[in-house]
Amino acid sequence: MYSCAQCALHSCKEENPDKLPANCPMQDKSRYDEWLEVYRQDENENFYVKSAELEADGYGQWGRLKETMEFCKMMGYKRVGIAFCMGLRKEAKVIDSLFRKAGFTPVSVICKTGGIPKEAMGIAKEKKLEPDAFEAMCNPIAQAKLLNEQHTEFNILVGLCVGHDSLVNKYSTAPVTTLIAKDRVLAHNPAGAVYCAESYYKDKL
């Protein structure tokens, strides 16, 4: 079982690593040559190279929004999808406007599209935020399908729920990136819990 997160050596970052933990996946280097060829496939090579160039171009200077816009420019994308949460509709409006101003054609789809009650998927009323009120289900598969219909070239997730974001990834034809990860408690900054996990936030995890 691999445990790179607990590794104290990180020999992978060295040019000629000679010390590897017993459970390091690099013990079998032959696989990496095979996987390198996957990067060289037409569908992946330019995408990967531009991603690496983006890292160098904006390192320590650009926020993720700027990085996302610059990546779309580098790839020549024009039609950009935005799959967003109802709770971040104001943020989605700003993001949409910024992409328009930068010359893109954004296509946005809200999570509640379809207006389907949660009961349609067997969600019990005690698992709703307001048990006796109408609540539309989040509809990430529809979000992906609608963006597919619009032939978006690159899709951006804005504040989708855990699991729902996974379904957009699963059913999206275009590549997907996350711009904002939902965290209702920490102002959509889930890294905050990590940074405070051994101090202020430890009793909440």
Average model confidence (pLDDT) across the chain: 96
**Percent of the chain residues topping a pLDDT of 70:** 100
* Amino acid letter, 132: D
Helix (H, G, I), strand (E, B) or coil at 143: helix
Residue 201 — very low, low, confident or very high, per pLDDT cuts 50/70/90?
confident
* Residue range 156-188, pLDDT digits in tens: 999 999 999 999 999 999 999 999 999 999 999
CB 145: neighbour CB atoms within 10 A?
Answer: 17
Regarding pTM above 0.85, the answer is: yes
Confidence of residue 122 (pLDDT cuts 50, 70, 90): very high
Burial class (CB in 10 A: 0-12, 13-18, 19+), 118: middle
> Average pLDDT in the 144-148 region?
98
Q: How far apart are CA 179 and CA 174, in angstroms?
A: 15
Across the range 48-53, mean pLDDT stands at: 98
Q: Which residue from 98, 85, 79, 95 is spatially nearest to 150, judged by alpha carbons?
A: 79
What is the mean pLDDT of the segment spanning 112-118? 98
The residue with tokens 């000679």 is 18
Residue range 14-46, pLDDT digits in tens: 987 788 999 999 999 899 999 999 999 999 999
pLDDT at residue 49 greater than cutoff 90? yes
Long-range own/partner contacts, residues 114-118 (CB < 8 A, 24 or more apart): 114/139, 114/142
Q: What is the pLDDT of residue 16?
A: 78
Q: Is the dihedral of CA 157, 161, 163, 167 positive or negative?
A: negative
State mean pLDDT over 84-105: 98
pLDDT of residue 200: 84
Helix and strand numbers, DSSP H then E, in the chain:
7, 4
Q: What is the pLDDT of residue 50?
A: 98
Q: What is the pLDDT of residue 202?
A: 85
What is the pLDDT, as a whole number, of residue 75? 98
